[in-house]
Amino acid sequence: TLTFALLYTILGGFRKVVETDILQFFLVIIGVFIVFFFSIKAVGGWSKIQEIASSYPSSFSRWEIVSFFIVFSFPLWADPSFYQRCSAAKDPRTASLGIAFVGLVDSFMTFVGLGIGLAGVYIIGNNANPDTIFPSLVETILPTGLRELVGLAILSAVMSTVDSYLLIAGGVFANDILHPLGLKWDGVKLSKIGTFLSAIFAFLSLSIFSDIIDAAIFAFSLFASTSLIPLVLALVLGPRSDFVLPSLVSMFAGGVTVIAWKLLKLGDTSVSVLYGLAISGGIWLLLFSFRTFKHLKTRG
């Protein structure tokens, strides 16, 4: 999947990524609703889903609940794929409508996904690997024909995510790493090289994560810890030249915190976002206060 997504991302660029994502979006929606319908039917209705949910005691601490809320909510403000799509829109109104539509779909799909997950735990069992619950449920409850269609939807969901972030990572590599190193190639060629290097890095990093959820939590924690505070401050207060240094240093510090937390195995991945945001915000405030004090002292 990674290899195929890499090939059409490099050869087709942003246009092909968008075209394939449109098709993959409809496949995913159709596939998920098929599984949701058969899952609810298999367990005995929505009331049974509610009964299953209430039968499990809470295993999360308050801080973990706060962390999960931050991890799965605020990083969307700093999600690079959103800004990539908005930048490609023909006007601000189109971008706003697109983001609003995505928000509505994501909110609805969250509850659908929770229903499928609870049904899967009930049908497959508590001890199943979280990464295999969905495909195991598909194999158990769906008839032949629908099973293959949903399998295609699963593949589409994976590829839609992979191609988008490969393209983004390739642009970051090209603009922030390869170009400053002095490479004189044109931007398109640098982006293709960056995309290829990103795919290699992604493949090598697979061994760090225990499952897909762990990888997603790490990625979202990284988004929030590096970008959320500088982004919100820039949107609220407006772009200012004296924000540049505090923002860059706070982004670096927040990212290093989350990465170090994971590599040193200091605890649950979801909690790292709290420390990342605290350090990012603290360093931003410290540097901005120091620069402001220095500026006022110079004027005085």
Residue 30 lies in a domain: yes
Domain count, the chain: 2
Same domain, 133 and 144: yes
First-to-last alpha carbon distance for the chain, in angstroms, is: 62
Confidence of residue 100 (pLDDT cuts 50, 70, 90): confident
Instruction: Examine the fold and report which residue of 177, 208, 239 is the final residue of a domain before the chain moves on.
Output: 208
Return the closest-CA partner of residue 216 out of 138, 276, 161, 135. 161
The CATH code of the domain that includes 28 is 1.20.1730.10
CA distance readout (Å), 189 to 169, 174, 194, 236: 14, 9, 9, 36
Residues 130 and 5 in one domain: yes
More confident residue, 197 or 79: 197
Q: Residues 31, 150: contact at Cβ < 8 Å?
A: yes
CB 270 within 8 A of CB 276: no
Is residue 195 domain-shared with residue 250, that is, in the same domain? no
The reported pLDDT for the residue numbered 258 is 92
> Using 50, 70 and 90 to split pLDDT, how confident is the model at 279?
very high
Q: Is residue 81 part of a domain?
A: yes
> Does residue 291 have a pLDDT over 60?
yes
Are residues 165 and 8 in contact, defined by beta-carbon separation less than 8 angstroms?
A: no
pTM: 0.69
Given a cut of 60, whether residue 86 has pLDDT beyond it is yes
In the numeric block, the tokens 């697109």 are attached to 98
Mark whether 257 and 111 lie in a shared domain: no
299 domain-assigned? no
Q: Are residues 28 and 172 in the same domain?
A: yes
Give 13-70 pLDDT, tens digit per residue: 777 777 777 887 888 888 888 889 998 888 888 887 777 777 766 666 777 777 777 7
- Quote the domain boundaries for residue 250: 211-294
For 221, other C-beta atoms within 10 Å of its C-beta total 30
161 and 242 co-located in one domain? no
**pLDDT reported for residue 60:** 66
* Average pLDDT estimate for 238-249: 81
The rounded radius of gyration (Å) of the Cα atoms in the chain is: 22
Q: Which of 208, 225, 247 is the last residue of a domain?
A: 208
* Statement to judge: residues 161 and 234 lie in one domain: no
Taking the C-alpha atoms of 108, 68, 132 and 9 in order, what is their torsion angle to the nearest 10 degrees? Answer: 70
pLDDT at 300 over 60: no
Mean pLDDT over each residue of the chain, to the nearest integer: 80
Residue 284: which of 255, 245, 256 has the closest Cα?
Answer: 245
Exposure string of 137-148, with b = 16+ CB inside 10 Å and e = fewer, is bbeebbeeeebe
Last residue of a domain, one of 208, 231, 254: 208
Q: 202 and 220, same structural domain?
A: no
**Domain shared by 199 and 247, yes or no:** no
- Percentage, residues of the chain above pLDDT 70: 93
Say if residue 16 is in the same domain as residue 54: yes
Asked if residue 300 is part of any domain, the answer here is no
Question: Are 63 and 83 contained in the same domain?
Answer: yes
229 membership: H or E segment, kind and range: helix 229-237
CA distance 53 to 118: 7
